[in-house]
Structure 1
Amino acid sequence: MIRTGEQYKQSLSPDRRIRVDGERVTDVTAHPQFAPAVGIRARIHDLAHEAATRDVMSYADPETGERHAVANRPPLTQRDWHDKRAAVDTVLDTARGVVTRVGDETVGEMWSLRDAQDVLDGLDPRFSGNIRRHIARTVTDDLFHVSADTDPKGDRSRRPQDQDPDMLLRVVRETGRGIVVRGAKYETAAAYANQAFVKPAVADWGGTERSDYAVGFICDMNAEGLTFLCRTGFAGRGSAEDYPLSHRVDEIDTLVVFDDVEIPWEDVLFYRDTRAAALLRTTLHRYSALPFTHRTLRLADLMIGAALWNVRQTGLENLQGVREKLARLACWREGINAHLTAAIALGTRSPGGLCMPDQSLLYSGRVLASAQLPEMMHLARELCGGQVCVTPDAAAFADPETGGWLRKFYSVNDTWLADDRRRLLAFARDLLNSDYAGHRLTFQLFAQGPPFAHLSAVYHAFDWEGPLDLVRDAAGLSDRVRGTGRPT
């Protein structure tokens, strides 16, 4: 059954070994750096119960009548994808900012395993039931599911075996109950998630068919042997008045250390087969790229809104140069939306029977969203103007000694008084200029792989046959010349 926010909080064991700033965290629900993100995740659960949002965030199972989260529902129709987009928008409206690792953008990786099940069965049929059971469990148990992908890696010019072998997560032995793994994975939100899909990040296995590093499994985040080494959160740096996004929607990134963690056999999804691992890498984001890219669309809306309010405040909206910059932001935003909408509209039936967004359009939209993000952020900075980086903090506006001067110089007219002007500039600064803003920019560029991996996905998804046939006919090439379709 769908959980409440309080039930989610109670599922986070106080025995987890969580460290941040050199200290042990015993309660992530109350710790000032973790509490904002935990609170958002809890609100997602509660939204599924509240009358105003219940039908957006949840659905009734046609067979059992029980309600489940829209985010975790495997997509069978285009309507399912539109429902998922509406649910994402509801979450982001509630958060009043962009949150990325809250579950819906990671659970799709499991659906890729469902699509590959026939191939995986041919490689190792032992784990088929595990895959089906875990996909069903994400639906019925309403778990906060995240993804553990990136390893520390170490010296990338050397094989893991030729350096400290724990630089990539590996299986160290088998037991009667399962496998024992050692290593580490980076994963945002792991410290306050319920489970993670752990899989290798290796792209080239060097022709070997068997490897202790080629393993995929579901890990209970309350498991023995896990240690969570977290980066310092942005909440607590400055005041919430000056850094509203940092204090509201920062998500804590974590290096999860696996110190001889036992994974039960029923939680293993593939094991020691590099062909299975390579197959997963090529299909991993065929679903999850859509909600991930959708969040950049929302980020674009925040940037446009901050820039447009600023030029309206200062009376610059009618300048041609300003309108051209706003139009460029709008074109980027609409380009992202067009790719997402078309990817759903032209979706096809996947090997596992799901409604799969058109892969070429989806991956091209992800490239558009991510590759142009730095340029668009700088364009929004231009439109917000230099006061974003020179405005004093809220305490200075409240100070009897300085407040009078600041209210004088920051009041634009009878409509835009100093307090609203300060609030807008503080929001824009946190969105575009702060440590949090820089972190988010880098995160968006690498969260689903580096830019070259995004382009590689487009290369393998695009249908090259059409352009080849077009030019063959237009140039009058002989019938001996044939296209080869998609590259291998």
Structure 2
Amino acid sequence: MIRTGDFYRDSIRDGREVWINGERVKDVTTHRLMKPVVDIRARIYDMQHDEKTQTATTYEEDGERYAIGLRLPYEKKDWQDKRDAVDLQMHDIGGIVTRVGDETIGEMWSLWDGKDILNEIDPRFAENIERHIHQAIKNDPFHVSANTDPKGDRSKAPQEQDPDMLVHVVKETDAGIVIRGAKYETAASYSNQAFLKPTIANWGNAELSDYALGCIVKMDAPGVKHICRSGFADRAPAADYPLSSRCDEIDTLMILDDVLVPWEDVLFYQHTRAAAFIRATLHRYSAFPFVQRTLSYADLIIGTALWNVRQTGLDKQQAVQEKLSELAVWREGIDAFLTASIAMAEKSPNGLLMPHQSMLMSGRVHALTNLPRMMHLARELCGGQLCVTPDAASFENPETKPWLDKFYTINDDWISDDRRKLLALGRDLLNSDYAGHRLTFQLFAQSPPFAQLAAVYRNFDWNGPLDFAHKAAGLSDNVWGAKKH
């Protein structure tokens, strides 16, 4: 059944070991740094029950309602429904959150597409992934994805250094496998489970490897420890940092200290081909909701910049309109890639409908390659007051309020308090520690640029351009063998 927000909160009050700022967290649902984002995830759960939003965020099957984000996609409408739900959620919470579950379940769908590969080593593994996918639909857990290891010295194979730098199996038991290592994972400390898989294809020359592992790890399992980075939520008043105080997603170094993974939760093991398959197809589905969130980020950037130039009466200037148009072209490009990836969607090896891969991966490159430049363009439009405006307390203090009212009131429509609020949003969106973190986070959440371009290279249809050039040049047919290489 679809969860409520309170059911979700209760599910993570399980005695898990969470550390932040050098202190053990007693309750992640009430901790000052985690409560804001936990409340956002709870709100998304509650939207599934709210009569105003239930239809858009859930679907009905056999008299039961399920989360639209977890629905297996078989038709184009399934993807459009997911897209509409995410748009509604982002607007409802008034910010951007990346890790809420719908963006990570797709990684499991990718592994399910490789069930023939899993059957090569053990048919139970294909059965396990299928069962977990359907359990996720039924039980509606907060499901995240554990990808990146500490790695250590990348010039060495994992066997040539501390073996725990990459997660690996240390022994088998009748009950399951015991794993050791660590993973970086956003939202792990306040989620229910993670899909753990290898981050790199660096298993040495062995055909079988204890590092080639995919499994489900419960976040409260014995031996799982969460060591979190410090958060932004309590660094400054919410009035000055409206995004940092609500939408900061806590990242975790998840320690796996001899964690037992039951056999029914093992999705592949000692199978380098399965590990290579999931690394090559990991973002086959999940790139879509990630890119869509960048589209939401683009809308927030444009809205903030446009309100600023309208406040100050600069929106009629051609130079300003040109900058706004650049932002719009970037935004519309993201939207076009997403729309085209649905319109040209392809059947996956397992019969699911996956977004057109070349369009989707190209859209990701377009969205993220241009993100830093677009953020700076928005800074230009917002002006230098972003970095020099006093805080909310100064606007409220009787000694300083009259002066700030005088110099920040623009006209009868734009009083100083509204001017301050807009500048606070722009500062947090574009200039704050939180803004810098969100920009760098893209290298982690959506893979680094070289991997994004590699995905385009693997999925682009090179034959069309080759055929065109072949005909235009009048090349002989015997060059077609070279084309294949």
Please confirm whether the aligned pair reaches a TM-score higher than 0.5, indicating the same fold.
yes
Matched residue type, 2:265: D
Taking the TM superposition and a 5 Å limit, the aligned residue runs for 1:52-451 are 52-61=52-61, 64-451=62-449
Q: What CA distance in whole angstroms lies between the structure 2 residues aligned with 1:358 and 1:316?
A: 41
1:12 aligns with 2:12: yes
Q: State whether residues 214 and 271 of structure 1, in contact with CA within 8 Å, keep that contact through their aligned partners in structure 2.
A: yes
Which blocks of at least 5 consecutive residues in structure 1 are unaligned? none
Matched residue type, 2:58: S
Matched residue type, 2:383: G
Q: State whether residues 74 and 354 of structure 1, in contact with CA within 8 Å, keep that contact through their aligned partners in structure 2.
A: yes
Q: State whether residues 464 and 486 of structure 1, in contact with CA within 8 Å, keep that contact through their aligned partners in structure 2.
A: no
User: Does the C-alpha gap of structure 1 residues 239 and 78 become closer, same or farther in structure 2, counting only changes over 3 Å?
Assistant: same
Q: State whether residues 37 and 248 of structure 1, in contact with CA within 8 Å, keep that contact through their aligned partners in structure 2.
A: yes
Which blocks of at least 5 consecutive residues in structure 2 are unaligned? none
Matched residue type, 1:133: R
Q: What CA distance in whole angstroms lies between the structure 1 residues aligned with 2:167 and 2:483?
A: 36
Q: What CA distance in whole angstroms lies between the structure 2 residues aligned with 1:203 and 1:459?
A: 18
Give the aligned CA root-mean-square deviation in angstroms: 1.1
TM-score (norm 2): 0.98
Larger displacement relative to structure 2 (76-85 or 116-125): 116-125
- Quote how far apart the aligned CAs of 1:13 are: 3.2
Find the residue that maps to 2:261 and give its secondary structure. strand
Q: What CA distance in whole angstroms lies between the structure 2 residues aligned with 1:380 and 1:486?
A: 45
Find the residue that maps to 2:243 and give its secondary structure. helix
Residue matched to 2:24: 24
Q: State whether residues 465 and 486 of structure 1, in contact with CA within 8 Å, keep that contact through their aligned partners in structure 2.
A: no
Matched residue type, 1:236: D
User: Does the C-alpha gap of structure 1 residues 486 and 96 become closer, same or farther in structure 2, counting only changes over 3 Å?
Assistant: farther
Query: Out of 463, 469, 472, which is 1:471 matched to?
Result: 469
Q: Report Cα offsets for 1:361-394 as digits up to 9, x if no partner.
A: 0000000011110010000000000000000000
Find the residue that maps to 1:480 and give its secondary structure. helix
Q: State whether residues 18 and 230 of structure 1, in contact with CA within 8 Å, keep that contact through their aligned partners in structure 2.
A: yes
Q: What CA distance in whole angstroms lies between the structure 1 residues aligned with 2:119 and 2:244?
A: 45
Residue matched to 1:34: 34
Q: What CA distance in whole angstroms lies between the structure 2 residues aligned with 1:410 and 1:256?
A: 46
User: Does the C-alpha gap of structure 1 residues 414 and 483 become closer, same or farther in structure 2, counting only changes over 3 Å?
Assistant: farther
Find the residue that maps to 1:210 and give its secondary structure. coil
Q: What CA distance in whole angstroms lies between the structure 2 residues aligned with 1:204 and 1:482?
A: 34
Find the residue that maps to 1:184 and give its secondary structure. strand
Q: State whether residues 240 and 391 of structure 2, in contact with CA within 8 Å, keep that contact through their aligned partners in structure 1.
A: yes
Q: What CA distance in whole angstroms lies between the structure 1 residues aligned with 2:154 and 2:448?
A: 15
Matched residue type, 1:438: G
Matched residue type, 1:38: V
Q: State whether residues 109 and 288 of structure 1, in contact with CA within 8 Å, keep that contact through their aligned partners in structure 2.
A: yes
TM-score (norm 1): 0.98
Q: What CA distance in whole angstroms lies between the structure 1 residues aligned with 2:105 and 2:346?
A: 19
- Quote how far apart the aligned CAs of 1:34 are: 0.3
Aligned residues: 485
Q: Report Cα offsets for 1:285-313 as digits up to 9, x if no partner.
A: 00000000000000000000000000000
Q: What CA distance in whole angstroms lies between the structure 2 residues aligned with 1:446 and 1:185?
A: 12
Matched residue type, 1:44: I
User: Does the C-alpha gap of structure 1 residues 485 and 336 become closer, same or farther in structure 2, counting only changes over 3 Å?
Assistant: farther
- Quote how far apart the aligned CAs of 1:125 are: 2.3
Q: State whether residues 464 and 485 of structure 1, in contact with CA within 8 Å, keep that contact through their aligned partners in structure 2.
A: no
Matched residue type, 1:217: C
Query: Out of 461, 468, 481, which is 2:479 matched to?
Result: 481
Matched residue type, 2:233: A
